[in-house]
Amino acid sequence: MLSVGDTDIVTAATASLATVSNIGPGLSSVGPTENFAFFAGWQKLVMILLMWLGRLEFFAVLALMLPRFWKP
């Protein structure tokens, strides 16, 4: 989803990997001496969701989405 904007594929791929794994910098335009400020607002929201998924672990988030989890 990050590559829909005007960013190149390396920047989009490494930005998504950096946000999911919470490692900080990526490559190209999100490298160690750059920042994520040039992304559009909706792209930043996508990266926030990726950060939450990475921090909470995918399986825990998937379990919350299953109806069986909420049944008593």
The residue behind tokens 């794994």 is 21
**Which residue is listed with tokens 């607002």?**
41
What residue type is 38 in one-letter code? F
Residue 72 has pLDDT above 80, yes or no: no
CB atoms under 10 Å from CB of 17, counted, come to: 15
Q: What is the pLDDT of residue 28?
A: 83
Average pLDDT, integer, range 47-63: 85
Q: Name the pTM for this structure.
A: 0.72
| Maximum Cα–Cα distance across the chain | 50
End-to-end CA distance of the chain: 36
pLDDT-based confidence at residue 36 (cuts at 50, 70, 90): confident
Measured in residues, the chain has a length of 72
pLDDT for 45 equals 94
**What are the sequence ranges of the domains in the chain?**
2-70
